[in-house]
Amino acid sequence: MSTPLSSDDVRSRVLRRWGLTVPEECDEPGGGLTRLETADGPVVLKELLDLDRRQILFQHRVALALAAAGLPVPEPIPAANGRTLVTTNGRRYALYRWIDGRHRNGLDLSLPACQELGGLLGRVHRELDRMTPPVQQALLIPTPRARDAIATADRLLAGLPHPRDDFDSLAERHLRERRELLHDLADHQPPEMEAVAVGYVHGDFHAGNLLFGRLGIVAILGWDRLKVAPFAAELVRAATSLFGHGDEHGMDLERVTAFVRGHAAVFELDAAQIQSAAHRLWWERLCDVSVFERRHLDQGPSAAAFVQWWTTELESTLDAFAAPYTSTRRDAQDDEILEVS
């Protein structure tokens, strides 16, 4: 049985691989992280969970290459033997410089800052596309089916207790409303195979993985979910997370458009791919009825209100995501008309 990281002897054994000793005090912010003060400044020791050696080393190579390209990506520090991955007592670790910064809500960013952030994600996509092996461009994407979601809603309805408390009554109302929506919108199900631009993406680009300094982003964190996926899907998911209220207020579509515009200036896709990705994400949220289970008591009503807003505003949402591309095309057409005349 392996010894936990908090054990001083294991920590000491790990840190010796980097030529470090255990300080008297260590800060453990959670998530397998231990912050340590050293003579060269603070560092963070990270225990790498749920990933195999090959995945970790690939992530390290990507991080080093992205940092070399000028992107704010934390670089793993090589141990004394030159390796960035250390295995001790059956557990895997990496060491990074501690980066000071703070998280910011995407809804607090100005429109120019939203555009700049979109450009940063575009640079990440451009560099990942350049440096990683080519991948198949037609991707089979698992798509939720309306009938399956309806069946799950029926199961949850049948499982509600009698008599019902306030939560059960609210869950029943939301489940019946969602069931009706799914029945009415069943023909909106997206296809399972699409020819889209696919490559390696960050996999978890949201406010919790972005550190801001005085002059902008100082670190993109959370590279554990690096994976192959459509670029447009990551763009849409990031925008929805960053600029969505998560309730009846929906999304800030001005900020969404600015974000996509910044991305388009660096890594061009097209309106059809982005609208398809936005439609697919809306459909996934529509089919997710698990939010009405009691274990999601704190988020079910807000999630239901957000999906209701998105369903009502589906066309305007799709237009907002595609606006940077459609407006550019209109401008080009106008220029052609002026040249002819």
Q: Angle of helix 166-184 relative to helix 146-158, nearest 10 degrees?
A: 160
**For residues 85 and 52, what is the distance between their CA atoms, to the nearest angstrom?**
11
Q: How far apart are CA 92 and CA 234, in angstroms?
A: 28
Question: How do strand 193-195 and strand 216-220 relate by DSSP bridges?
Answer: unpaired
Spell out the residues 6+ positions from residue 224 whose beta carbon is closer than 8 angstroms to its own: 48, 50, 51, 59, 203, 204
CB 204 within 8 A of CB 233: no
Please report, for residues 18, 90, 283, 332, the alpha-carbon distance to residue 240 in angstroms, rounded to integers and kept in the order given: 40, 39, 13, 29
Torsions phi, psi for 94 (to 5 deg): -140, 155
CA distance 31 to 50: 12
- The structure's pTM equals 0.90
Q: pLDDT of the chain along its 341 residues, tens only?
A: 444 445 567 778 888 899 887 775 677 777 778 888 888 889 999 999 888 999 999 999 999 999 999 999 999 999 999 999 999 888 899 999 999 999 999 999 999 999 999 999 999 999 999 999 888 776 777 899 999 999 999 999 999 888 888 888 888 999 999 999 999 999 999 987 677 889 999 999 999 999 999 989 999 999 999 999 999 999 999 999 999 999 999 999 999 999 999 999 999 999 999 999 999 999 999 999 988 887 766 677 888 999 999 999 999 999 999 999 997 555 555 555 445 54
Query: Before 112, cis peptide (omega within 30)?
Result: no
- Check residue 231 and give left, alpha or beta (phi > 0: left; psi -120 to 50: alpha): alpha
Burial string for 87-97 (b: 16+ CB within 10 Å, else e) reads: ebeebbbbbbe
Name the H helices within the chain.
Answer: 8-16, 53-68, 111-131, 146-158, 166-184, 231-243, 253-266, 271-287, 300-312, 314-340
